[in-house]
Chains A and B, each alone.
Chain A
């Protein structure tokens, strides 16, 4: 009936995730070997592709930026006891808000005024998109998992409709908007560092990476340093105790989901303002779902999420390199590796815990 004794904190925070990662890599290695490839070579190419060159690092961190936003979005909702599966849709809406403001005001405002407005619009669109399922959950009991999933589909069809019927310039065949004016382009790191006289190869990595770090710090402060965060966490950890304390769970559900949606909405700054410079289809590219894995792996803590986002960014970037370099190794193999990591680090995060606890206990007994 009783579970084994808990792990020491350091082991739970560091050793167990690393062990899980190792198991996932080993499992993936077995599959790679089964299809006749050399796991060591694949891993070497993957690591080199992700971290071996400044350009590779740029791509890795560019992917990681979106994952930080969506991972934080999942974590904030999680701390309020909610499972926000709608990061994808909220990110689509965020990109839409960012892009629309960029299209609308691009020719009128300079970059220093326009870019903050675009970020604000992205966050607001994401927030509003999350607020509807949140209201339904709080006041009508519609489960937020179901409604956010459905809102993902609605968001992607909404985007198609807007692009095809309204935003596509006349005469164009591609479902894309017109290009954003230069003042609506978020500088890439290459440009920003270039202005400071530092050499950095061109990559999609842009200043929204700093915004992502700021968002991670802000989420940490919100959750563990403010009264609002205290209330949010108490509702998530014990709705009954929150009720006893006079904290209105409905309000907290709305608040958490709106913050969550706003964070996911900031993906638009990375993708639309930072890289694509126009509205198009598929710019979120699954980052909303990857955010769930990132939050799981990062234990819903901003610091862990940043680390996990870099890991997943590396998988995306290194995986693309592997698919390119290693003959007979498709991108699907990389998806499989991601699947193993989600499986072992998320869904089965504690499977190895009893074993680890037993091994640790072999060490000299305490006091």
Chain B
């Protein structure tokens, strides 16, 4: 093929006051994997939306396979051979895999003929690319990795020569990630051009030939992967050096037992048992990492331990207090007993998005004497307290009146941490502390969690990022299908071993 597959020249895109893309120029050689990395809000997704026709650029030119083009909507992008796999899959759960691929690409008015034709094409495609999916299965029953392969098939069968993948490994186990990468490498070898948007630098180093680093809407760095390192890319991404690896632990060692749960069992509304006889202990001055692929019961476990849900069986000891399924812990009592909770879902749980920052900064603690007296909120004192918290935890912008929803993911998370950590909890439950958080804030959050451990808090860290668990935890529990399937001190953990346990493989 002659010339680059994609050439973007001087792309500018503005949303209100935000310059999401500022004079972005990008060239992707045909048949290569090109990485685009950057913090949240760096403009990667906007750039890809421009290429895929979701947004029209304010200015700039797009060339596809050497031809200047105008891409006004995704249909035109598809017609030009551009396909996109979104981070959140665009599949209909109740349809079969085949029907999902067929949707919108029916070649014949009679469905069975269209299906037969599509099946033949898919079989050929699956054979040549190695993307295997059970076509008759209902999408709801497919594992996440299969759904992603289905999304890629969907794009390829529509003639995609250029494939955009947005954070494709966010929901995959290490094994699934590896098999995805094998497929992507083969696709590239067969001539497909792949644009990989990610914040995982390790993946860029493994898979990509070239990489573009974006920061604050601009391209700040563009290089061949062979000429760079993950550390250099991280520095380029945030404009300074960061340390996210494991650190020698400070402070006192492991102390007394703070929380003990025994035989927790929980059934969902449909009567399906989602947690099976689950037991765990948290000691003062340690971080226990709970690893697992999202959706294996970690969220439910956090909600049980924080009192948001009641189990069907099991007991809990928190400090000197004992609870059982009939008399379970309540969130308010949990806070009074010094148990703080940074929930996984910032948007739906940790903050009231419509509330001003100072209102969200007291959520769950509005009973405290500092927050209210005789039923009246002490609004002035709360505003001041929130301003001090935002100063101490570096929440930007420092505007207590700004709606919680207007902060970036990292700053929202800092606001939540500020609220929960400032009460010097005895036990901290923290779920996905750095999801959707940019690298600079990740470093800050890790520091805060380590400082809390050093101060003698017992921490339970739930994360689907193995790197995060390995960087922070002292002891690692692995969860699969509602059970804890393994426990290791962190020194005896390898990514591969944990990954196998996360996938439910028995490990000797």
Mark A residues whose CB is within 8 Å of B.
1-2, 4-6, 224-231, 233-234, 237-238, 240-246, 366
Contact = CB atoms under 8 A, between A and B. Distances in A.
A5 B377 contact: no
Interface stretch (B76-84, B102-110, B350-358): B350-358
Given A240-B349, A241-B351, A4 B16 contact: yes
Nearest to B46: A2
Q: Most B CB atoms within 10 A — which of A231, A238, A243, A244?
A: A244
Interface string B3-22: 00000000000011100000
Nearest to A361: B16
- Minimum-distance CB pairs A-B, first 9: A5-B16, A246-B331, A245-B364, A246-B332, A240-B348, A237-B354, A244-B349, A227-B372, A238-B352
A241 B377 contact: no
A244 B343 contact: yes
Nearest to A9: B401
Contacts of A242: 352
B335 A246 contact: yes
Nearest to A244: B349
B286 interface: no
B419 to A, nearest CB: 10
Contacts, number: 81
7 contacts: A4-B16, A230-B372, A230-B377, A241-B363, A243-B349, A244-B331, A244-B350
A203 to B, nearest CB: 38
A32 B364 CA distance: 55
Contacts of A228: 375
B15 A225 contact: no
B301 to A, nearest CB: 15
B341 interface: yes
A234 B350 contact: no
A228 to B, nearest CB: 7
B378 to A, nearest CB: 10
A5 B355 contact: no
A242 B366 CA distance: 12
Q: Most B CB atoms within 10 A — which of A227, A228, A229?
A: A227
B95 to A, nearest CB: 24
Contact of B366 (A5, A6, A230, A244): A230
B413 to A, nearest CB: 14
B99 interface: no
Nearest to A365: B17
B345 interface: yes
B5 to A, nearest CB: 25
A245 B355 CA distance: 14
A227 B364 CA distance: 11
Contacts of B375: 226-228
Contacts of A238: 348-349, 351-354
Size category, B interface: 35 or more
Contact of B363 (A4, A225, A245, A366): A245
Interface string B279-307: 00000000000000000000000000011
A244 B353 CA distance: 14
Contact of B353 (A1, A225, A237, A366): A237
A156 B345 CA distance: 46
Contacts of B54: 1
Interface string B391-425: 00000000000000000000000000000000000
B366 A227 contact: yes
A302 B332 CA distance: 31
Contact of A230 (B49, B308, B359): B359
A245 B348 CA distance: 12
Interface in B321-347: 330-332, 334-335, 341, 343, 345
A230 B364 CA distance: 11
Given A1-B55, A234-B352, A237-B352, A246 B364 contact: yes
Given A5-B17, A231-B366, A243-B308, A237 B355 contact: yes
Contacts of B345: 240
A246 B307 contact: yes
Nearest to A238: B352
A246 B308 CA distance: 7
Contacts of B332: 246
Contact of B348 (A6, A225, A241, A366): A241
A366 B371 CA distance: 36
Contacts of A224: 379
B331 A245 contact: yes
A244 B377 contact: no
A227 B377 contact: yes
Nearest to B18: A5
A227 B375 CA distance: 5
A242 B379 CA distance: 19
A353 to B, nearest CB: 13
Contacts of B341: 244
A226 B354 contact: no
Contacts of B377: 225-227, 229-230
A234 B359 CA distance: 9
Contacts of A237: 352-355
A59 B469 CA distance: 70
A229 B379 CA distance: 12
B328 to A, nearest CB: 13
Nearest to B346: A241
Nearest to A240: B348
A5 B349 CA distance: 25
B355 A234 contact: yes
Nearest to A5: B16
A224 B376 CA distance: 9
B495 interface: no
A367 B375 CA distance: 42
A230 B366 CA distance: 8
A292 B306 CA distance: 39
B93 interface: no
Q: Most A CB atoms within 10 A — which of B343, B363, B375?
A: B363
Contact of B376 (A225, A241, A243): A225
Given A227-B377, A234-B355, A238-B348, A244 B308 contact: yes
A241 B349 contact: yes
B367 interface: yes
B196 to A, nearest CB: 21
B15 A5 contact: yes
Contacts of A227: 366-367, 371-372, 375-377
Contacts of A234: 352, 355, 363
A231 B375 CA distance: 11
Contacts of B348: 238, 240-241
